[in-house]
Amino acid sequence: MRRDPVTAFIALGANLGDARQAVEDALQALDRLPDTRVSARSRLYCTAPHEATGPDFINAVTRLSTRLTAPQLLLSLQALEQQAGRERPYVNAPRTLDLDVLLYGDATIDSPSLTVPHPRMWQRAFVLCPLAELAPDRVPQACLQAVADQTITPLTALAGGHAP
């Protein structure tokens, strides 16, 4: 029996190499996952590292329709990170690609490998602002106000539209 599709939201980020291209490539790769389609994507944003080091990040959020289970989706995201050269030498190290499951339908998941909703998404402007573009009903205004001091700039707002 085939599972009904679930709407999932995925955060994308990169701050090593051609970060913008890495995020664009990841968006295309997500659309090629089995039983998964990208149904919407936010703008790209440039953000200073938050609780991390290295150059500025390129961030986005995408909405997927998927028949993959949450653990299958997580494994697929980790495989895409590996293909992009992701290394994890220490916590919050700069990265070629970072993909996080933010929301998986209305599920609450608390396992050793996956927590949904993402446990730190409510403290991160680089997640909440692009998520609010796609699903304003899923991002309380109070949460956006709580991260208003974090610098986040839509790429189109940058001079010439260029970013790291």
pTM: 0.89
In terms of Cα–Cα distance, which of 33, 62, 44 is closest to 154? 44
Residues lower than pLDDT 70 in the chain: 1-2, 86-94, 156-164
153/119 Cα distance (integer angstroms): 23
Active site members: 86, 95, 98, 100
At 50 the pLDDT is 76
Give the span between the Cα atoms of 138 and 110, in whole angstroms: 19
Give me 94's structure tokens.
């700069």
What does the pLDDT read at residue 160? 43
* CA–CA separation, 58 and 39 (whole Å): 20
> How many angstroms separate the first and last alpha carbons of the chain?
46
Helix 70-83 × helix 19-31 angle, to 10°: 140
d(CA 146, CA 127): 13
Tell me how far CA of residue 121 lies from CA of 29, 50, 53, 70, 125, in angstroms.
23, 12, 18, 17, 8
**Residue pLDDT, tens place only, 57-104:** 999 999 999 999 999 999 999 999 988 876 665 566 567 899 999 999
pLDDT confidence of residue 2: 61
Q: Helix or strand or coil: residue 90?
A: coil
Number of C-beta neighbours around residue 113 at 10 A: 10
Torsion of CA 79, 83, 86, 87, to 10 degrees: 90
